[in-house]
Structure formats: C-alpha cells, structure tokens
C-alpha cells in the first residue's frame, strides 16, 4: 500500500518502498489554472528537502515545485512535455512530475497525511 504525504506548499509525495512520486495537489492545480508547460529535472539529479525540483507554468503564473524530502531523481514523467494538461486532469495520477529515491525516510514525519492536509486547506478559505 502506498502512503501519500503533503507539504504546506501543496506538493505531494506518494511513498512506495524507498521511492517517492512527487507532484502537486489538486488544490494547487486549481489555483494555477490551465497548465501549459512543465520543466522537469534530469535523472540522477539530487535534491535536499525544500530545494526546487521542477517548474510548472500555467496561463496565470510560473511556480516552483519543491522537493518534499531529500533524494535522487530516478524517473521523470516525460509525458508531461507533450501533455502538460495532465497536471490539471489527474494531478495525483498521470500528472505526477518525478520520482526520487529517498535519502532519509525520517523526513516524511514532518509532512502532513491526507487528513491533516484537508484540515490545513480549510484554514486557507
């Protein structure tokens, strides 16, 4: 079973073993509007927790996507280059950005689970 965690910047990480799949939440894609471009990192790149890992551009703005945890990029969603709208259509599914091999699974403890994230979103209204 996979475990999904969220940041206050609206990134998510779906944990499967020692691999984390990173993207932006449904809330984030709605705030951005229509996504028109996604800039992904190179496979093999390493990030510290909170480092910029990708960029997403919409008709409204360009936004950084930050690494929720430290790790090394093992895969990117190259399909987003041709169909960036996947981020809007299915942000927690086919709209994922990158996968990283976790450097320190202990960092996950600082992230919100789905219930805590839903509660956090209520404070933003």
Give CA–CA dist 109/48, Å, rounded: 15
Give CA–CA dist 95/80, Å, rounded: 7
Residue 41 CB coordination number (10 Å):
20
Task: Give the rounded percent of residues in the chain with a pLDDT score beyond 90.
Answer: 95
- pLDDT above 70 for 17: yes
Task: Using alpha carbons, select from 43, 4, 45, 37 the residue that is nearest to residue 23.
Answer: 4
pLDDT: which is higher, 125 or 22 = 22
Please spell the DSSP secondary structure of 45-86, one letter per residue. Answer: -EE-TT-EEEEEEESS-EEEEE-SS-EEEEEE-THHHH-TTH
Q: Whole-number mean pLDDT of the chain?
A: 95
Instruction: Express each pLDDT in 29-80 by its tens digit.
Output: 999 999 999 999 999 999 999 999 999 999 998 999 999 999 999 999 999 9
Structure-token match 């999904």, residue found: 4
Phi then psi for residue 84, to 5 deg, are -60, -20
- pLDDT above 50 for 9: yes
Domains, the chain, with CATH or none:
3-122 (2.40.50.100)
Task: Give the rounded percent of residues in the chain with a pLDDT score beyond 70.
Answer: 98
Task: Using alpha carbons, select from 38, 33, 24, 23 the residue that is nearest to residue 83.
Answer: 38
- pLDDT above 60 for 1: no
pLDDT on residue 90: 97
């Amino acid at each position: 079973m996979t475990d999904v965690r969220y940041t206050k910047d609206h990134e998510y990480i779906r944990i499967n073993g020692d691999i984390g799949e990173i993207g932006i939440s449904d809330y984030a894609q709605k705030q951005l509007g229509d996504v028109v471009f996604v800039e992904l990192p190179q496979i093999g790149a390493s990030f510290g927790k909170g480092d910029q890992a990708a960029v997403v551009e919409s008709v409204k703005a360009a936004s950084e996507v930050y690494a929720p945890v430290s790790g090394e990029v093992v895969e990117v969603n190259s399909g987003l280059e041709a169909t960036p709208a996947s981020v809007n259509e299915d942000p927690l599914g086919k709209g994922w950005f990158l996968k990283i091999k976790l450097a320190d699974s202990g960092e996950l403890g600082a992230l919100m689970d789905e219930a805590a994230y839903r509660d956090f979103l209520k404070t933003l209204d």
